[in-house]
Chain A
Amino acid sequence: MLTSSQNVPVFLIDPLILELINKDFEQVKNTSHGSTSECKFFCVPRDFTAFALRYHLWKNEEGWFRIAENMGFQCLKIESKDPRLDGIDSLSGTEIPLHYICRLASHAIHLVVFHERSGNYLWHGHLRLKGHMDRKFVPFRKLQFGRYPGAFDRPELQQITVDGLEVFIPKDPVRFLEEIPHSRFIECRYKEARAFFQQYLDDNTVEAMAFRKNAKELLQLAAKTLKKLGVRFWLSSGTCLGWYRQCNIIPYSKDVDLGIFIQDYKSDIISAFQDVGLPLKHKFGKVEDSLELSFQGKDDIKLDIFFFYEETDHMWNGGTQAKTGKKFKYLFPKFTLCWTEFVDMKIHVPCETIEYVEANYGKTWKIPVKTWDWKRSPPNVQPNGVWPISEWDEVIQLY
């Protein structure tokens, strides 16, 4: 069943089998090549077995199809344009393979083509059937991969022997399995971004470029720090708008904005940022209500972290005016998180980006606005009372 894959750089990503292997991990690791007769894992009844194909290591693409077909496989190849060229002015090139599905009798092998992307991650494409393709080739709806494009951290691999077959699997199958349900990836809207820059010329002054460079470094540092802590975060406010509207950092935005769910809050966030040279600038609110942290990056760039609170039908984050102790509430429709690529990083954004951006900036978000008052401009701001003076020392901390 698997031999055709032997000369192809693949690793096993099938959730069902990985799960089984993981349960029996110690035993699997200790089994030597001998016990070929047993078929504990690969013979579990199912329609597909999914493998990731590491495309950049693949050398014999042309010949491979033929070999598979000679072995009796029927193969389907799904290709598409290369998203890595989308961000660049009007390039079009050879299509890249996204999925191979090869069936033999009632079973099929799904080769999910993993492509290397900038930001040190692996990407696979959306499995979309073209007009002439056989819709009943395999039960497509049962596929575990391909409903959406996906992004994964590049896993370290290990070779193991399963049912007498040597296969590569992720070294940490649990982690990989956890990534699968949250792997959905959305591409930046490069075409719209280009249209935006045609209308509003890009700012290429030395200051703008310096800001972008510093903001990018700050974002990368913040991402690294939060990843180490295991804290999920996403691009919020102006940084999110910059990604969505122009696939870049807005040069006049003056800060980098991130969102974190309050349930992901960890008390060592502040010290972790301090350790990497980002001292706390202010802290507003408290964990139970309207928490907001602000760190000082170099060259006067601020890193703002807003904590999001979930209600039954919406999400919100809080704001505090230091002078008056006034509280504000910014409401958002509920959203989930998707991966995207931004300034050479794999990073989260709300999947429902347009709703998120429109909540924050209104329907006119496409028009650049350079003066923005956080207390009045956003359409989703609501007054939320005033902090009692007795709490000010705790909820308004300026450094």
Chain B
Amino acid sequence: MDDWKASSLIKPFGARKKRSWYLTWKYKLTNQRALRRFCQTGAVLFLLVTVIVNIKLILDTRRAISEANGDPEPEQDYDEALGRLEPSRRRGSGPRRVLDVEVYSSRSKVYVAVDGTTVLEDEAREQGRGIHVIVLNQATGHVMAKRVFDTYSPHEDEAMVLFLNMVAPGRVLICTVKDEGSFHLKDTAKALLRSLGSQAGPALGWRDTWAFVGRKGGPVLGEKHSKSPALSSWGDPVLLKTDVPLSSAEEAECHWADTELNRRRRRFCSKVEGYGSVCSCKDPTPIEFSPDPLPDNKVLNVPVAVIAGNRPNYLYRMLRSLLSAQGVSPQMITVFIDGYYEEPMDVVALFGLRGIQHTPISIKNARVSQHYKASLTATFNLFPEARFAVVLEEDLDVAVDFFSFLSQSIHLLEEDDSLYCISAWNDQGYEHTAEDPALLYRVETMPGLGWVLRKSLYKEELEPKWPTPEKLWDWDMWMRMPEQRRGRECIIPDVSRSYHFGIVGLNMNGYFHEAYFKKHKFNTVPGVQLRNVDSLKKEAYEVEIHRLLSEAEVLDHSKNPCEDSFLPDTEGHTYVAFIRMEKDDDFTTWTQLAKCLHIWDLDVRGNHRGLWRLFRKKNHFLVVGVPASPYSVKKPPSITPIFLEPPPKEEGAPGAAEQT
């Protein structure tokens, strides 16, 4: 503090002490005049040497002491613990040139051991069915990737083919089957296994066991297989033991030009596998994108939080799209990883971004919730100047004009208190129901999936009462609750600026994704100029809706609204239909309509005061709930609102999954 002033008298690291000791001696010596000058000089020289030796000794002792003490006292300011240098990892003399690999395949257990270290062990019940694949670095023996493909189920073999094709030539591949791996193993996959040199893989049968070790691009280093004797039983467990010769490091690495970017690439590619051309020696895909800057970018200094779990391939895809979006500023991006997973961190480092890991503290949904909270709090701590944050998830693509969309609309969040968020996602924006990339809506539901959060909302309202871990709530469901939303609305585009590609999330399964997400419309046009953004403000929007309803043509209510012919074969018209909606929370008819239109029907999304806006056959299509909606006044007296009977009591929805 105050007493710490720069002083030229203070020599660093205790030299002063040594000097005074030396001076005392010198003083004594000069006092003995009887000594001859020659002797004196000699003694001084000798002393100097002793002093130097002593200083070195003292310094060494200090070093040893601080090493022994571990963490230093805070007052020892500049002397942090020394010598925590990593002990050399090399075993014995010189690296080993052969790995011994054990691979076990059986009904209920698989394991893989490399040089006696278990790198895979799975004996959990009802889990890990299918083909487990491990990729080793051919020079170091390090595990570079670990995957399991449930090839008993459909489409998983396609994912396996995709993955195996991305593995670089020369890598060591290990495969082993747990329980059943053949039911949906199609010809393409079998052909690929054949091309790897496998004998048994292409012929893998129902409940066979199989263990395989080989180099990508040959040769096969070992294979064992046991046929299942009958439909109701499994093949015998097989244990494959084999030696894998290691190749030289040069052989395992590419010769990319020595640039900062390639150093990142090299670090990444020597550690992990399964990212395809990013690690290609000849023609690696770029990891820096430099998209065009956005003129007058209003979101240049808005932090971007990417919420991630352990799905590094998703994260890789996500970050690529994010960094390619016009107007992105990489230094504003932080990736928050839920757990101490290395590979997602490697992906983050590949792109030169900031990554933060979060130790899991609770289970399932509550854990996601706590991860969100920690991530949002950290974002506003890291960027204390920010008034907003963009929140993204690892399984989203962002549109090329994602930031342009936000830049054009973010002022609304500042100027209109009745807004809760801006979201890039339209729940009802499917290929057949979204049309106009320049059009925005106000909706009472909070879509998430790429959205902007106001700091004041978070700090003053959400953070203090964020659900605690024992509540086991989904953060997004909680945010949608009336106590939190308090009547506020979100701005969304007609055509989404994000695309939800994830299938293996906590809340998602393949079927579900297929049904509800795959056909979502996603804007691919750069630089879209949004239309009339200020008309999205609370009062202006009402004027706009009234204008729209006034010019809308009333559809023929005697027709079946589920039929395609309900709307005329026109383009660019605005039509309105009136459906029955007794109270604010009566969505009986709407839900049936949503179902037959093949849009989101699991809960109600996209409404604004009993009004839904979408497109059909390139016409703007308005649906008004009568009499609950205030827009019911626009209904001509002659029109009877449409009523659709809910199906007799049976579970219509596939599982109780929800969106994010």
Using a CB–CB cutoff of 8 Å, the interface residues on chain A facing chain B are: 56, 58-59, 62-63, 66, 82, 84-85, 87-94, 116-120, 126-132, 135-136, 139-144, 147-148, 181-182, 184, 204, 209, 212-213, 336, 344, 351
How far is it, in angstroms, between the C-alpha of A117 and the C-alpha of B352 when the chains are bound?
Answer: 23
User: With A127-B78, A181-B1 given, is the CB distance from A87 to B381 under 8 Å?
Assistant: yes
> Among B79, B361, B370, B378, which residue has its beta carbon within 8 angstroms of that of A84?
B378
How far is it, in angstroms, between the C-alpha of A132 and the C-alpha of B355 when the chains are bound?
Answer: 25
* A93 and B355 contacting across the interface, CB-CB below 8 Å: yes
* B352 and A129 contacting across the interface, CB-CB below 8 Å: no
> Among A116, A147, A212, which residue has its beta carbon within 8 angstroms of that of B383?
A116
- Count of inter-chain pairs, beta carbons less than 8 A: 115
* A93 and B357 contacting across the interface, CB-CB below 8 Å: yes
User: Top 6 A-B pairs ranked by shortest CB distance?
Assistant: A93-B356, A90-B359, A131-B82, A118-B384, A84-B381, A142-B6
> Among A116, A126, A147, which residue has its beta carbon within 8 angstroms of that of B384?
A116
Residue ID in chain A nearest B13 by CB atoms: A135
What chain A residues lie within 8 Å of B80 (beta carbons)?
128-131
* B356 and A94 contacting across the interface, CB-CB below 8 Å: yes
> Among B1, B85, B382, B460, which residue has its beta carbon within 8 angstroms of that of A184?
B1
> Is B547 located at the chain interface by the 8 A CB criterion?
no
Among A82, A85, A131, A144: residue with most chain B CB under 10 A: A131
* A56 and B385 contacting across the interface, CB-CB below 8 Å: yes
What chain A residues lie within 8 Å of B385 (beta carbons)?
56, 116
How far is it, in angstroms, between the C-alpha of A89 and the C-alpha of B369 when the chains are bound?
Answer: 13
* A56 and B378 contacting across the interface, CB-CB below 8 Å: no
* A56 and B383 contacting across the interface, CB-CB below 8 Å: yes
> Among A58, A59, A82, A135, which residue has its beta carbon within 8 angstroms of that of B78?
A135
What chain A residues lie within 8 Å of B2 (beta carbons)?
181-182, 336
* A85 and B85 contacting across the interface, CB-CB below 8 Å: no
A193 to chain B, nearest CB (A): 14
How far is it, in angstroms, between the C-alpha of A141 and the C-alpha of B336 when the chains are bound?
Answer: 38
Residue ID in chain B nearest A15 by CB atoms: B6
What chain A residues lie within 8 Å of B460 (beta carbons)?
213
Query: Contacts A63-B260, A147-B4 given; 10 further ones with Cβ under 8 A?
Result: A88-B377, A90-B361, A91-B356, A91-B374, A131-B80, A135-B79, A142-B10, A209-B464, A212-B464, A336-B2
How far is it, in angstroms, between the C-alpha of A209 and the C-alpha of B336 when the chains are bound?
Answer: 27
> Is B571 located at the chain interface by the 8 A CB criterion?
no
* A120 and B356 contacting across the interface, CB-CB below 8 Å: no
> Is B77 located at the chain interface by the 8 A CB criterion?
yes
User: With A85-B356, A91-B374, A181-B1 given, is the CB distance from A139 to B384 under 8 Å?
Assistant: no
B84 to chain A, nearest CB (A): 6
B103 to chain A, nearest CB (A): 35
> Is B358 located at the chain interface by the 8 A CB criterion?
yes
12 A-B pairs with CB atoms under 8 Å apart are A66-B260, A84-B382, A85-B378, A89-B358, A91-B359, A91-B378, A117-B381, A120-B384, A181-B1, A209-B464, A213-B460, A336-B2
User: With A93-B354, A128-B78, A129-B79 given, is the CB distance from A213 to B464 under 8 Å?
Assistant: yes
How far is it, in angstroms, between the C-alpha of A304 and the C-alpha of B359 when the chains are bound?
Answer: 40
Residue ID in chain A nearest B359 by CB atoms: A90
What chain A residues lie within 8 Å of B1 (beta carbons)?
147-148, 181, 184, 336, 351
* B77 and A88 contacting across the interface, CB-CB below 8 Å: no
How far is it, in angstroms, between the C-alpha of A344 and the C-alpha of B13 when the chains are bound?
Answer: 39
How far is it, in angstroms, between the C-alpha of A344 and the C-alpha of B384 when the chains are bound?
Answer: 9
* B83 and A131 contacting across the interface, CB-CB below 8 Å: yes
Docked complex: B361-393 residues within 8 A CB-CB of A: 361, 370, 374, 377-378, 380-385
Residue ID in chain B nearest A65 by CB atoms: B260
A143 to chain B, nearest CB (A): 8
How far is it, in angstroms, between the C-alpha of A127 and the C-alpha of B2 when the chains are bound?
Answer: 17
* A62 and B12 contacting across the interface, CB-CB below 8 Å: no
Docked complex: B50-84 residues within 8 A CB-CB of A: 77-84
Residue ID in chain A nearest B63 by CB atoms: A131
> Among A62, A82, A126, which residue has its beta carbon within 8 angstroms of that of B260?
A62
* B4 and A135 contacting across the interface, CB-CB below 8 Å: no
Q: Encode contact with A along B1-28: 1 for CB under 8 Å, 0 otherwise.
A: 1101011101011000000000000000
How far is it, in angstroms, between the C-alpha of A279 and the C-alpha of B13 when the chains are bound?
Answer: 56
* A131 and B383 contacting across the interface, CB-CB below 8 Å: no
User: With A89-B361, A135-B12 given, is the CB distance from A94 to B383 under 8 Å?
Assistant: no
A352 to chain B, nearest CB (A): 11
> Is B118 located at the chain interface by the 8 A CB criterion?
no
What chain A residues lie within 8 Å of B355 (beta carbons)?
93-94
Using a CB–CB cutoff of 8 Å, the interface residues on chain B facing chain A are: 1-2, 4, 6-8, 10, 12-13, 77-85, 260, 331, 334, 336, 352, 354-359, 361, 370, 374, 377-378, 380-385, 459-460, 464-465, 468
How far is it, in angstroms, between the C-alpha of A93 and the C-alpha of B379 when the chains are bound?
Answer: 12
Residue ID in chain B nearest A48 by CB atoms: B6
Residue ID in chain B nearest A132 by CB atoms: B85
A117 to chain B, nearest CB (A): 6
* A91 and B380 contacting across the interface, CB-CB below 8 Å: no
* B84 and A131 contacting across the interface, CB-CB below 8 Å: yes
What chain A residues lie within 8 Å of B358 (beta carbons)?
89-91
A249 to chain B, nearest CB (A): 11
Among A90, A144, A184, A351: residue with most chain B CB under 10 A: A90
B56 to chain A, nearest CB (A): 13
User: With A90-B358, A90-B361, A93-B355 given, is the CB distance from A131 to B85 under 8 Å?
Assistant: yes
What chain B residues lie within 8 Å of A129 (beta carbons)?
78-80
What chain B residues lie within 8 Å of A126 (beta carbons)?
77
How far is it, in angstroms, between the C-alpha of A139 and the C-alpha of B9 when the chains are bound?
Answer: 12
Residue ID in chain A nearest B467 by CB atoms: A204
Residue ID in chain A nearest B81 by CB atoms: A131
How far is it, in angstroms, between the C-alpha of A212 and the C-alpha of B463 when the chains are bound?
Answer: 13
A332 to chain B, nearest CB (A): 19
What chain B residues lie within 8 Å of A344 (beta carbons)?
459
B571 to chain A, nearest CB (A): 47
How far is it, in angstroms, between the C-alpha of A89 and the C-alpha of B7 when the chains are bound?
Answer: 42
What chain A residues lie within 8 Å of B370 (beta carbons)?
89
* A144 and B6 contacting across the interface, CB-CB below 8 Å: yes
Residue ID in chain B nearest A61 by CB atoms: B331
User: With A84-B378, A88-B374, A116-B384 given, is the CB distance from A136 to B12 under 8 Å?
Assistant: yes
A71 to chain B, nearest CB (A): 18
How far is it, in angstroms, between the C-alpha of A139 and the C-alpha of B459 when the chains are bound?
Answer: 44
* B384 and A140 contacting across the interface, CB-CB below 8 Å: no
A217 to chain B, nearest CB (A): 10
B192 to chain A, nearest CB (A): 38
* B384 and A119 contacting across the interface, CB-CB below 8 Å: yes
User: With A130-B80, A204-B468, A209-B465 given, is the CB distance from A91 to B357 under 8 Å?
Assistant: yes
> Among B84, B85, B334, B374, which residue has its beta carbon within 8 angstroms of that of A89?
B374
Residue ID in chain B nearest A94 by CB atoms: B354
* B77 and A128 contacting across the interface, CB-CB below 8 Å: yes
> Among B4, B378, B465, which residue has its beta carbon within 8 angstroms of that of A88?
B378
What chain B residues lie within 8 Å of A139 (beta carbons)?
12
What chain B residues lie within 8 Å of A336 (beta carbons)?
1-2
How far is it, in angstroms, between the C-alpha of A382 and the C-alpha of B358 when the chains are bound?
Answer: 48
How far is it, in angstroms, between the C-alpha of A374 and the C-alpha of B354 when the chains are bound?
Answer: 49
What chain B residues lie within 8 Å of A88 (beta carbons)?
374, 377-378, 381
How far is it, in angstroms, between the C-alpha of A204 and the C-alpha of B374 when the chains are bound?
Answer: 17
A197 to chain B, nearest CB (A): 11
* B331 and A59 contacting across the interface, CB-CB below 8 Å: yes
Residue ID in chain A nearest B353 by CB atoms: A94
B229 to chain A, nearest CB (A): 51
B581 to chain A, nearest CB (A): 34
* A85 and B381 contacting across the interface, CB-CB below 8 Å: yes
Residue ID in chain B nearest A338 by CB atoms: B1
What chain B residues lie within 8 Å of A136 (beta carbons)?
12-13
What chain A residues lie within 8 Å of B331 (beta carbons)?
58-59
B32 to chain A, nearest CB (A): 35
How far is it, in angstroms, between the C-alpha of A127 and the C-alpha of B80 when the chains are bound?
Answer: 10
What chain A residues lie within 8 Å of B359 (beta carbons)?
89-92
B250 to chain A, nearest CB (A): 26
How far is it, in angstroms, between the C-alpha of A10 and the C-alpha of B410 when the chains are bound?
Answer: 30
* B356 and A117 contacting across the interface, CB-CB below 8 Å: no
How far is it, in angstroms, between the C-alpha of A128 and the C-alpha of B358 when the chains are bound?
Answer: 26
